[in-house]
A and B are shown apart, each in its own frame.
Chain A
Amino acid sequence: MNRVINATKLDFYASKSMLRMTSLLVIIGVVIGLAAHGPEYMMMFIMVFAVTSGGSVFSVHEKCHSDKLYGILPLKKSEMILGRYLYALIIGAAYAATGGILGFIMSMVTSGRLNALPYWATLAIAFAYFCFAVGVAYPIFFKFSFTKAYVFTMLPMYVIAVLFLFVTRRTDFTSGIGSAIKFFTAHVYLLPTFGLLAGLVLLAVSALIANLVYTRKEI
């Protein structure tokens, strides 16, 4: 476990300067939220940008020939992969917390128009989306180079985000889900748990795939 934590630390050291830059994307999320008059859009877009932050570590490692560093460190490939997913999880949690706090503040500022159910539902979906996007992207980055794979892995995520924005604005999104809404209305506290669990399951499946892909790959 110690080696996995060291691998996560190494990823944070590696992406430190990139994380500083990509964290500025949160401001864009806030601007979108203000323009769309909805904290839910802001929270979603912040999580979309979290995917960019989570993927940036691959670009740094690729640029700096870190494959050779990983080749000589006393670290198993599977531990390196676990470390990378732990890194992603921490990034996702940090962005979700930021989005959640900013969403709450914006909700207050905009006369409390976002009550508990849509607030937690958006946060849960946003986190699950982050895990889905990372879950799709990471095995591809492990298999191919970041430069080659970036467009193909990130583009669909932005399309999904824009579609989400379009659908939620054109339809009564929350009332259309029927029984699920009723259930979660009665058990609002379950929504973050649901989002967290769904996200963790997606990441775990992705980590297994990445492990299969990367352990067979020559560095």
Chain B
Amino acid sequence: MNNALEVQGLCKSYTDFTLDSVSFTLPAGRVMGFVGQNGAGKTTTIRCILNMAIRESGEVNIFGLDNQQDELAVKQELAAVFDEIFFVDTWRLREVEKAVKGFYSRWNSKLFGEYLSKFGLPPGKRVKELSRGMKMKLMLAVAMSHEAKLLILDEPTSGLDPVARNELLEILREYVADGEKSVFFSTHITSDLEHIADFITLIDHGKIFYTGTKDGLLEHFHSVKGNSAGSAGELPSIDEILVFISKGGQVS
């Protein structure tokens, strides 16, 4: 199976935080939830993947290409959505396209127009006039219009109301439906992942606690913990597992 994203032995130190040999693999066409509490190292890992932070050691490969040496080729293949919008707030939505389309070899203006229409985003509206949910949809529209094969989302649902969160998850489901596109989804709102993620990677204090299939995690935790937190016979939630880990429990 081809891998969309491979992170091996990734290390990065700051004065008060260390990312300690982070390793995981996301197969192509799948969705991985990257879960950890605030400050666990999710954003630092993503910044290293995007080459926004310079790694000290380890490897990051995206579709087999090194994210530093082949940065330009890699960035044609990926898109990222953050918890806050990064477009100039005075731009009208049609100007967003003008500003970014020149950078992408596979930019599809027709597709962008279709996404704006589908997501209910008026092209004449300014970025600053959009609600938080609409801003998220705009970033997704841009991400999907250059036909990115890997979508990286950093806490996209934080601050969204339940309706907007559900809409976002629906968009992601459609995005991966063709089986060729992959999503790496960082969040601390674990309920988002219950239905959409195929794989889960758990991170705490800069260390990976578990990486593998979601079902494997739930079953493994169920047998380790005896499901004392949940109802008898039912698999635990990812939230319960996260709390368990934060209290010093071991999963892997």
By a beta-carbon cutoff of 8 Å, the part of chain A in contact with chain B is 2-3, 5-6, 9-10, 13-14, 16-17, 60-61, 63-69, 71-76, 218-219
Contact between B87 and A64 (Cβ–Cβ < 8 Å)? yes
Interface segment, one of B98-106, B110-118, B184-192, B219-227:
B98-106
- Complex interface: chain A residues within 8 A of B104 (CB): 74
Q: Does B88 contact A (CB under 8 A)?
A: yes
Contact between B53 and A218 (Cβ–Cβ < 8 Å)? yes
Known: A74-B76, A76-B71. A64 touches B89 (CB 8 A): yes
Interface segment, one of B21-29, B31-39, B77-85, B232-240:
B77-85
- Complex interface: chain A residues within 8 A of B82 (CB): 65, 68
By a beta-carbon cutoff of 8 Å, the part of chain B in contact with chain A is 47, 50-54, 71-73, 75-76, 78-80, 82, 84-91, 95, 98-100, 102-104
- Complex interface: chain A residues within 8 A of B95 (CB): 13
A12 CB → nearest B CB, Å: 9
Contact between B75 and A13 (Cβ–Cβ < 8 Å)? no
B34 CB → nearest A CB, Å: 17
- Complex interface: chain A residues within 8 A of B76 (CB): 74
- Complex interface: chain B residues within 8 A of A69 (CB): 86-87, 100
Main secondary structure of the interface of A (DSSP, over half): helix
- Complex interface: chain B residues within 8 A of A2 (CB): 102
How many A-B pairs have beta carbons closer than 8 Å: the answer is 74
- Complex interface: chain B residues within 8 A of A219 (CB): 47, 52-53
Those 8 A-B pairs whose CB atoms lie nearest each other, nearest first: A68-B86, A6-B102, A74-B75, A71-B52, A219-B52, A69-B86, A13-B99, A72-B80
- Complex interface: chain B residues within 8 A of A63 (CB): 89
A13–B93 Cα distance when bound, in Å, is: 12
Complex partner residue of B99 from A3, A10, A65, CB under 8 angstroms: A10
Complex partner residue of A13 from B50, B51, B53, B91, CB under 8 angstroms: B91
